[in-house]
Structure formats: structure tokens, C-alpha cells
Amino acid sequence: MKAFEIKKGIYWVGAIDWDLREFHGYQTQRGSTYNAYLIIDDKITLVDTVKHYLFDEMLERIKSIIDPAKIDYVVSNHSEMDHSGALPDIMNICKNATVICSPNGKDNLEKHFDVNSWKFKIVNTSDEINIGKHTLFFVLMQMVHWPDSMATFIKDEKLLLPNDAFGQHIASYERFADELGLDIVFEEAKKYFANIILPYSRQASKAVSEIDKLDIDMIAPSHGLIWKGNVNQIIKAYKSWDANETKEKAIILFDTMWGSTRKMALAIYKAFEEKNIHVEFRNIKTTHISDIMTHLIDSKYICIGSPTLNNTCLPTIASVLNYIKGLNPKNRLGLVFGSYGWGGQAINEIETAFKELSYTIIDTIKVQYVPSDEYLNKMKDDLKNKLP
């Protein structure tokens, strides 16, 4: 396993998790990488590590450049164990190294590992450490997406190492976004933001504002591909996602028992289509919620439908509502629909979830048992009249 030079004297020494297919309930069909970066200077510095079971892969890459025992500093931008898992192993080898982290980072590492023999240097926003030819500049990014998160900026190289920010879950031989294909990388970056960063968009916005002050020509996150030559594009995308900006776009999410709720979903689809509004149509039995979020993040209209089962909505829909409430996309228009036999309580539960999210509900539609073609046509026309 070889290191890969991303700038003169700065190497990617991370690990590729080709087999990863799930991350905190988020489907990672393309796997992932855990990116670590080695800076060769008067003070040899390693920025971040990898998951514990990929330590040997990282170590082999470091050894292709230097003896790892010579490492002077290990920067821990974030203490979550996909990045800190191999930290005890590397510290056992470079026993004289100092761990550089945020104040919360030190507290978190103490709660994860036995750190009694470690030396720490605590940094805050605008603190600098000179390591020889290079100067490391630090920016705290609290709650993007943990309280300890921070970014390391190598000023003279215009290189930002922001850990989870700007990342994507992709396993690939390629190291740069344009080598793999920007359409794929942006889709995965959007999915990553929608499923991990979105609940902290206010904090992310503040962090991006700080980062925007820096003179950056490369962003090397701790998951996925490195942004080179497209830095402004991904920063602009983050600003849009941070601001909960939406498009004139609808997403229809539903589950169905005997097909009635699906018929309603199709009528709703036709209403949006006839108004020339882009529609995403998703049966949640066949689309994972983490993929749904990639489309939901910029949809102005969120339409959710469920039949009633045992006086409540279907478990799949309950799960979707819980997931959306946790991620908390803001400023949406909601539409509630579903069929029922006698109670119809599913409708009330979806309405309650939308109210908790502070969505404006543009319509609530429910039908007993099977909707007729006449009913569906009227339902479509009524909805069209309520759309812009």
C-alpha cells in the first residue's frame, strides 16, 4: 500500500473501506474512505487516522514515506472512531508525538481511550502552529457534526483539511473528485450533507463563513474524494444546503397495503406534473431513507402518504417521519394523504409530525378503502388549484 502525494511533501495515507454498506443507518452503496494526511516537514505531522480495523493499511502507507516513530504531531480534527479508532495504535508507535485537538476533542478522547501517557496541545480558532516550512492554522467547527470538530488549514499550501465537512462516502482508487466524475461526487456529497450535517446547518453555515475567509485551492476531507479545481463549487453547494434552500420540486413518499394509497400518490404526481413541477416518486419499500434524503434536501414540497394499520401509520412511514424529524429540514410545504378502513389515524400522525417540523400543510387528503377514478381525477384537479 503506497502513499499518494497530493501536494509537495503532503501525502494521503488513509484507508479504503471497499465493503462498507451501512453507516449509522445510512446506506453506503459505494463504500467509503477514511482519509489521513502526512505532512513531511521539520515537525512531521499526521492529520487524522482511520477506523481501527484499517490501521495496518494506513501504517503501510506511512511506512512507504517515513518511519512512523518519527511523527512529531498527530492532529485529531474529530474524535469519532471512524477517524480516531487507530489513534491509540499510532500513538503506541510514535510515543513522543503530541496530539493536537480542540478543547472538546481532548475531553472526548479521554472518554474513548486510555490517554494517560499522551501529550496534548489544545487549539482554538485562529491558533497557529509552525512545523517548519508550513504553518498549521485551526478553525473550530463545533457541531459539524460533533462538539469537538475542527479544521486544519495549511496556509502556504492553501490546503484545507476539514475532516467530515465536504466529505462523501465513496471507496475509490481515484483521489481527486474530477478523476472519478463530479456528478457522482457531488451526488454523494449531497447525500452526506443531507444525512449527517443537515441537523447542524446553522453551525455548518457559521463554519463555512469562517472557511470562506481563507485562501483555499484544495479541500481534502476525511471521507471520499479531494476537491481540487472545484473548491468554489462545493463551498457554494454547502452554502445552499446550509440555508435550507429549495427548488420548485416535490417528493412523494408513500407505502401501501392494497394499492389505494399508491393510486393517490400517482394522482398527486399527475397534479405536480401538469403544473410542470419536478417530482420524485418514492415507494419507501424500494428506496432507502438515506437515498430519499438526497432528493428531499432541496424539495419545496414534501408529500407523505400511508394507509392506517392498527390505528396508526405503517411502521415504514413511522420510521421515515422519525428520521426526517431528526434531520429537521426547514421551511417546507407538506401534503398528507392516505386511505383507511375505519379509523384513519395515520393521517393525524403525519399531520402531527409536519406541525412539529413547522411545515405549512397545503392539503390533507384521505379516502375510505378504494378511491374511484372519478375521485382521483377530482383530487388531482383540486390539488392543482392549490399549487402555484
Give the residue numbers marked as catalytic: 24, 78, 80, 82, 145, 164, 192, 223
> Rounded to an integer, what distance in angstroms lies between the CA atom of residue 27 and that of residue 245?
24
> Rounded to an integer, what distance in angstroms lies between the CA atom of residue 65 and that of residue 222?
20
114 alpha carbon, distance to own chain's centre: 29
By the 10 Å C-beta count (0-12 exposed, 13-18 middle, 19+ buried), 183 is classed as: exposed
Cβ atoms of 86 and 80 closer than 8 Å: no
Name the residue among 278, 250, 255, 248 with its Cα closest to residue 337: 255
Partner residues linked to 160 by β-bridges? 153, 219
Cβ atoms of 380 and 275 closer than 8 Å: no
> Rounded to an integer, what distance in angstroms lies between the CA atom of residue 76 and that of residue 312?
46
Cβ atoms of 300 and 362 closer than 8 Å: no
Q: CA dihedral defined by 140, 54, 9, 212, rounded to 10 degrees?
A: -30
212 alpha carbon, distance to own chain's centre: 20
To which residue does cell 419499500 refer? 285
To which residue does cell 399508491 refer? 262
To which residue does cell 495549511 refer? 154
Question: What nine digits make up the cell of 80?
Answer: 469519532
